[in-house]
Amino acid sequence: MSRPAVLVARAVFPETVARLREHFDVEDNPGDIIFTKPQLIERLHGKAGAFTTGSERIDAQVLDANPQLRVVANMAVGYNNFDVEACTARGVLATNTPDVLTETTADFGFALMMATARRMAESEHFLRRGEWTRWAYDMFTGSDVHGATLGILGMGRIGQAIARRGALGFGMKVIYHNRSRLAAEQEAPLGARYVDKATLLREADHLVLVLPYSASSHHAIGAAELAQMKPTATLTNVARGGIVDDAALAVALRERRIAAAGLDVFEGEPQVHPDLLTLPNVVLTPHIASATVATRRAMAELAADNLIAALSGGKPPAPINPQVLPLRPA
């Protein structure tokens, strides 16, 4: 009996590929080519499953060209590269990798917020240019993190982990806005206060974005929202590109309508809005919030777990659309 064939769409840990080969006929991508849509469609021909990253857009066109496809397993917690409705309509299981990156991403989000507040990147560039010749009382004065008001937009697992760091480690006052309010027993240890979005924008000293991307959250922070923030406030985005209107943010930063921003994600990444690259008061990182060896290995293994379970009749640990289970026969 022939084994299912799967595509590993990007380069991943060799150990993960070797594990998948124990179960499947694997076509991998050690050269780490980012496939065009026609290339992806071609590579998926005859494949029952795909191990994907955010680079691969799985939509109705891709699915219709590959009716034999039964599962797509994302090595990411986000899945805006999947048309989940199209997958569900065709009985294709979509999976992701939640939980395993929560604490690592929260670490990075808090670090990026601190670097933004304390002007670390700006001062490092100053030093590297050889411009540091003397001390001055106001040299790169930033804003305090301890005791400040931490605003969180999107209070899921990562948002709550960032809140813990702020409240318990830095004595910050935590306010948040979310689609639904947390239970009282979740709010209490953090002293977290649920507020409407306008209050969040108005009161936060440091606003951190950790909400999922969707059509409804596109440009959730635009010119109008930035205008409601304090001129001394910082904005940190470790969620997804497109949640912030990057062009409007560049204007707000240039005109000092807000003090600074820290961005790990961008609209149209890996392209970055050119105006952001010219500004001193923004810290830019290339979508690396989950980038520790341990966490990336855990993400790869969970994606593999999902793929193996789904194609062997088991229960995948992290289904996005579990209503398609059990999968249709091969």
Would you please indicate which residues are annotated as catalytic (active-site) residues?
240, 269, 287
Q: Residue 103, CB half-sphere, CA atoms under 13 Å: how many? A: 4
Written as six digits, the tokens of 36 are 């065009």
**Calpha distance 12→21 (Å, rounded):** 13
**Calpha distance 34→138 (Å, rounded):** 46
Sheet-wide strand order for 173-177: 193-194, 173-177, 149-153, 206-209, 234-237, 260-263, 282-284
Torsion sign over Cα 58, 64, 65, 70: positive
Asked whether the beta carbons of 33 and 53 are under 8 A apart, the reply is: no
299, 294, 304, 296: which is closest to 17 by C-alpha? 304
Within a 10 A sphere around the Cβ of 316, how many other Cβ atoms? 23
Sheet-wide strand order for 49-52: 25-27, 5-8, 49-52, 71-74, 93-95
Q: Which amino acid is at 126?
A: F
